[in-house]
Chain A
Amino acid sequence: MKILVVDDFSTMRRIIKNLLRDLGFTNTQEADDGNTALPMLQAGNFDFLVTDWNMPGMQGIDLLKAVRADDKLKTMPVLMVTAESKREQIIEAAQAGVNGYIVKPFTAATLNEKLQKIFERIDG
């Protein structure tokens, strides 16, 4: 399973990569915003996308919409990990086709639970 982690803060990317590694996902790559992430996704056989929302350049919500609009990428599971906590934003993300939504600060258990839920749904 190849996972792309998108966040503008390198420390947060590192935290997520470490947690994913502890959960057994060792094949991860990083991008610092949507503009860097999208070409990587289009070129790179990724199976899963974890993205922040608030980033300079292309924001996470726009990256999600771009993924859903791309024929090759539209079925890719997307997990949003973000500090954005307005109800209308969560609804917007849901309507845009997000597969999971985690608000920061979060725990390893939450990340694990959301990942499992997404995989169950894909397998089932």
Chain B
Amino acid sequence: MKLSDKEQLALTIDQTRDLLSHLENNEIEDAQELIDSFAGQGDEDLFVEIGKLTRNLHEALTNFQMDSRITDIAASEIPDAKERLNYVIDKTEEAANKTMDMVETCTERSNKMAKDSEDLLVEWKKLYNRELEPGDFRKLCKKIETHLEKNKDDADDLHRELSDVLLAQDYQDLTGQVIRQVITLVHDVEESMVHIIKMFGSMDGYNKAKDETVKKGGVEGPVVNVEKRDDVVQGQDEVDDLLSSLGF
């Protein structure tokens, strides 16, 4: 039967009184007996505590083995995330190429428009300078009419091409959603790992590693946290300054 804390306290006080009276009355054997019974009680508590710890450990191990989250992550979610990130590469590449296709078409069209207008202006100036023959005037009128009609068509085409450029930017929405899902997964993996470290590793080591800034060597692509780094330049101006300080 388990005693409450209050009952336990009352019992201990009684036992201590008994022990004191045994000692005062020089009843050494009785005192020894009482002390032995105390020790036995202490062992019992210790065993109860060890029992509790064993059960917790057992539960933790079972939970750990049963943690299907980790199994899911390793078996399907990480491979899936790789596919998703490849999708991001494909979509952004596709969008960039589509946009550049349209920009190239627009550039060609605007170059042609400029060239046509230039040619026409030469003849228009001749008209001002009275250098045109009567027959040439009719030809010029026809040319201007053709030019204006073509301009109208070109403007329509430009409008269509610019709409295509606009639509090509839909990759931002699609890839944004995918990347957000991958960020959630990375977060879950982080939590699972911290959980494992808590159970089997050292949280001190974890916290220490968290505070350390990792010095990265070699190529690393675009730096995404420039403001937290002091080993990278913040832009072209700093590159130029650095190079000129080296005598460039």
Contacts of A86 in B (CB 8 A): 220, 223, 231-233
Given A85-B223, A103-B239, A104-B222, CB of A11 within 8 Å of CB of B231: no
The winner among A10, A11, A53 for most chain B CB atoms within 10 A is: A11
Nearest CB of A to B233, in Å = 5
Kindly identify, within residues 95 to 114 of chain A, every residue whose CB is under 8 Å from any CB belonging to chain B.
Answer: 101-104, 106, 110
Q: At the interface, yes or no: A76 with Cβ under 8 Å from chain B?
A: no
Interface residues on chain A, size class: 20 to 34
Contacts of B93 in A (CB 8 A): 9-11
Q: At the interface, yes or no: B200 with Cβ under 8 Å from chain A?
A: no
Q: Name the residue of chain B whose CB is nearest to the CB of A106.
A: B236
Q: Is the CB of A91 within 8 A of B246?
A: yes
Q: How far is the CA of A104 from the CA of B232 in the complex (A)?
A: 13
Given A14-B97, A83-B221, A90-B243, CB of A103 within 8 Å of CB of B233: yes
What 1/0 flags go to A4-37 for Cβ under 8 Å of B?
A: 0000011100110010000000000000000000
Nearest CB of A to B90, in Å = 12
Q: How far is the CA of A15 from the CA of B219 in the complex (A)?
A: 22
Q: Is the CB of B243 within 8 A of A94?
A: yes
Kindly identify, within residues 157 to 187 of chain B, every residue whose CB is under 8 Å from any CB belonging to chain A.
Answer: none
CB within 8 A of B219: which of A18, A59, A90?
Answer: A59
Contacts of A90 in B (CB 8 A): 233, 239, 242-243
Q: How far is the CA of A114 from the CA of B100 in the complex (A)?
A: 23
Q: At the interface, yes or no: A88 with Cβ under 8 Å from chain B?
A: yes
Contacts of B223 in A (CB 8 A): 83, 85-86
Contacts of B233 in A (CB 8 A): 85-87, 90, 103
Kindly identify, within residues 206 to 248 of chain B, every residue whose CB is under 8 Å from any CB belonging to chain A.
Answer: 219-223, 226, 231-233, 235-236, 239, 242-243, 246, 248
Q: How far is the CA of A94 from the CA of B239 in the complex (A)?
A: 11
Q: How far is the CA of A59 from the CA of B219 in the complex (A)?
A: 9
Q: Is the CB of A83 within 8 A of B100?
A: no
Q: Is the CB of B236 within 8 A of A94?
A: no
Nearest CB of A to B159, in Å = 22
Contacts of B239 in A (CB 8 A): 85, 90, 101-103
Nearest CB of A to B99, in Å = 9
Q: How far is the CA of A13 from the CA of B97 in the complex (A)?
A: 11
Q: Name the residue of chain B whose CB is nearest to the CB of A60.
A: B219
Chain A interface residues (CB < 8 Å from chain B) = 9-11, 14-15, 18, 53-54, 59, 83-91, 94, 101-104, 106, 110
